[in-house]
Structure 1
Amino acid sequence: MICFDLEGPLSPQDNAYEVMSLSEKGRLVFEALSEYDDFLALENRPGYEPGDTLKLIVPFLNYYGISEEDIGRVSEGAVLVSGMKDTVEQLRKMGQRVRIISTSYEQHAHSVGRQLGVDSGDIASTRLVLGELTFDSDVREGLRQIEKKILDEGRSSDVTAMLDELYFGSGLFQQIGVEVVGGQRKVDALLRFAAEVGEDISSVVAIGDSITDYKMLREVSGAGGLAIAFNANKYCLPYADVAVATLDGRAVLPIIEAFKSGGRGGALQKAAELESDPAELESGYGYLLEMEIRPVYSVIAENKDLKEILA
């Protein structure tokens, strides 16, 4: 079984960012909330998981009058990472089950899944029904004040204090009632998918790129499976067995093929071969393994450049 994160490995669109950008002021608000999300995740705030940005923005989506239809409409413009549709097809020909485990809202995850031919039942993502959510005047006033502060100052210490009070001081975070599939919830989804088909985690490949994926990569690697960091950032890289920096999703295929035929040792050996002689592939690729020995920051920089090209 091959479990993909969606945003990054499969499609470059940051759907929540694009949806928030439907409001003139939403782009800056989203950027501030995304930084706040990193702060909460690194602080290990109880009950908070990486990727819960998609929960934090829900009151703002309501405040801006953004609908589920808007989310789906924005998603229709999402493109796939080059070569990824062919990659999924090749994996199926190899007899591999393909699953998507994403923090993205269902509307976006299912839209990208349709492009790839992945059934909705094989996708774990964040369920959001905006029509069921209402927020009182006090919350809306708090949102207005935070928006103004963000526009004036960016994510300052004052903004952080205001966000803490709104979401956690007043209990709004729990009241929102949206469970984002990130962090440990990605692990839970992967374990559920594996159990449904009776597959041991040691035969699973997990592919991710960000802080929302590190627990999933750690779980799979720790069980003897293969964890691949795909154009990944510094929060994800240390938990992977192999890192791939590429403009073409097909770069993961030789690594996965080697894993399926020769286990993790085979995958690492193949990565070493590709690292020393990437010319055998159709395009230029960068591979990284033995991350505890080699410095990762040059690869992070390379991956950052690739993300900018893909954006």
Structure 2
Amino acid sequence: MLGKKFFVSDCEGPISVNDNAFELAGHFIEDGEKFFQIISHYDDILVDEIKRPDYNAGNTLKLILPFLKAYGATNLNMREFSSKNVLLIPGARATLGLLQFIMPSYIVSTSYEPYIQALCDLTNFSFNKCYCTRLDLDSHPLSEEEKDKLKEFRFSIISDPEFDNLERIFWEEIPGMEIGSLIKEIKPVGGEAKKEAILDIMGKNNYQACDLMYVGDSITDVEPLQYAKENGGIAVSFNGNEFALDNASIAVISDNTVITSTIADLFNRYDREMVLEFAASFKKNPEKAVKDHPVNPQLAYKLAETNTRLEIITEDNLEELKEDSCKFRKEIRGESIGGLG
């Protein structure tokens, strides 16, 4: 007997073009884009190379918060900035609308809550089906002395982005400051925390892991992609980087989310095997694959108008997919955002 299929997606990458935290840093912090890239690279090292215990992918979003506050960010202006700057992947609004209608659907994102709320307002996706990084900047006081100190730290990080300098600032200096409580309090929903969100969804609704379709694109999606893949679900990398592709079972490289709709619809109406058959056939001949499989006619029509590549990931094609997906990712999201972990 088929179980109740359910769909879970990351937000930034598979649904939207944005990297909201990167954009907030660029908007509020002096030389903020470069600053964010340094912290993001440091975050990747801690997760992927050092594998520091109790440190999750996506913790960049907690590390930059004291600096955002030092440069004038508040709950209100973060919400206003986010609401004005949501940029969707083509097709995303229709995909979210369809998937909410046909199957239980959720967004599990490292993104800050104001951005996810703005995206939900734009797409009519249910905010109560979202897991994201909650924060309250205004509840943490920041003295002028600490504000000046943080600005000095920002300059130090830009001038000397070496690992040891960042270790000193983030784990020796800031924890001794009053604003250090902000870093301690915030729990970004990335990596293992995304997997925990999926387990929470499953526990509350009695879903099974084999009925999960998860879509991700970055290092914050490694654990949920692994979980879906290892438990007989569908693990999709959508314009993913090397971290996502190493842990997914299916690679999508596309300029439109209609392929996400197509895969989810097949999975929901049939099973994992149908999706894998379709993906294998699509690689050989997309038009024939659509004709030979029970693809929704409306989705088939829209899919034909997109630039889409769909493949099952194997040892033989993994390196080529990494090169092509990372290149396409940068074309869709821009060099700066596309190059982030």
Same fold (TM over 0.5): yes
Q: What residue in structure 1 maps to residue 47 of structure 2?
A: 41
Show CA shifts across 1:249-307 (max 9, x none): 0012332233234422221111011111124541231122142x223232222222322
Q: What residue in structure 2 maps to residue 152 of structure 1?
A: 159
Q: Does 1:307 pair with 2:314?
A: no
Q: What residue in structure 1 maps to residue 232 of structure 2?
A: 224
CA separation of 1:235 and 1:168: change in aligned 2, threshold 3 A = farther
Q: CA RMSD in A?
A: 2.2
Matches within 5 A, 1:26-65: 26-42=32-48, 43-65=50-72
Which one of the candidate residues 264, 272, 287 is aligned to 2:310? 287
Show CA shifts across 1:7-65 (max 9, x none): 10110111111111123322221111111111111211122100011100111011111
Q: What residue in structure 2 maps to residue 89 of structure 1?
A: 97
**Higher alpha-carbon deviation: 123-132 or 190-199:** 190-199
1:128 counterpart letter in structure 2:
L
Q: What residue in structure 1 maps to residue 106 of structure 2?
A: 99
1:174 is displaced (CA, Å) by 8.0
**Higher alpha-carbon deviation: 109-118 or 164-173:** 164-173
User: Which segments of 5 or more consecutive residues in structure 2 lack a partner in the other structure?
Assistant: 1-5, 291-302, 334-341
Moved over 6 A (4+): none
> What is the DSSP-based 3-state SS (H/G/I as helix, E as strand, rest coil) of the residue aligned with 2:27?
coil
1:137 is displaced (CA, Å) by 6.6
Which one of the candidate residues 252, 255, 259 is aligned to 1:251? 259
User: Which segments of 5 or more consecutive residues in structure 1 lack a partner in the other structure?
Assistant: none
> What is the DSSP-based 3-state SS (H/G/I as helix, E as strand, rest coil) of the residue aligned with 1:163?
helix
2:231 counterpart letter in structure 1:
A
Q: What residue in structure 1 maps to residue 212 of structure 2?
A: 204
Q: What residue in structure 2 maps to residue 7 of structure 1?
A: 12
CA separation of 1:168 and 1:273: change in aligned 2, threshold 3 A = farther
Which one of the candidate residues 250, 268, 276 is aligned to 2:284? 276
Show CA shifts across 1:94-119 (max 9, x none): x2111110001110011112222222
1:159 is displaced (CA, Å) by 3.1
Distance in structure 2 (CA, Å) of the matches to 1:175 and 1:53: 10
Q: What residue in structure 2 maps to residue 22 of structure 1?
A: 27
1:4 is displaced (CA, Å) by 0.9
Distance in structure 2 (CA, Å) of the matches to 1:34 and 1:79: 21
**Higher alpha-carbon deviation: 268-277 or 131-140:** 131-140
Which one of the candidate residues 283, 298, 311 is aligned to 2:320? 298
Distance in structure 2 (CA, Å) of the matches to 1:164 and 1:107: 25
Distance in structure 2 (CA, Å) of the matches to 1:220 and 1:143: 40
2:307 counterpart letter in structure 1:
G
Matches within 5 A, 1:130-169: 130-135=137-142, 140=147, 142-153=149-160, 155-166=161-172
- TM-score of the two chains, using structure 1 as the length reference: 0.91
CA separation of 1:9 and 1:134: change in aligned 2, threshold 3 A = same
**Higher alpha-carbon deviation: 254-263 or 138-147:** 138-147
> What is the DSSP-based 3-state SS (H/G/I as helix, E as strand, rest coil) of the residue aligned with 1:47?
coil
- % identity of equivalent residues: 26
**Higher alpha-carbon deviation: 252-261 or 27-36:** 252-261
2:26 counterpart letter in structure 1:
S
Counterpart contact for 1:254–1:270, Cα < 8 Å? no
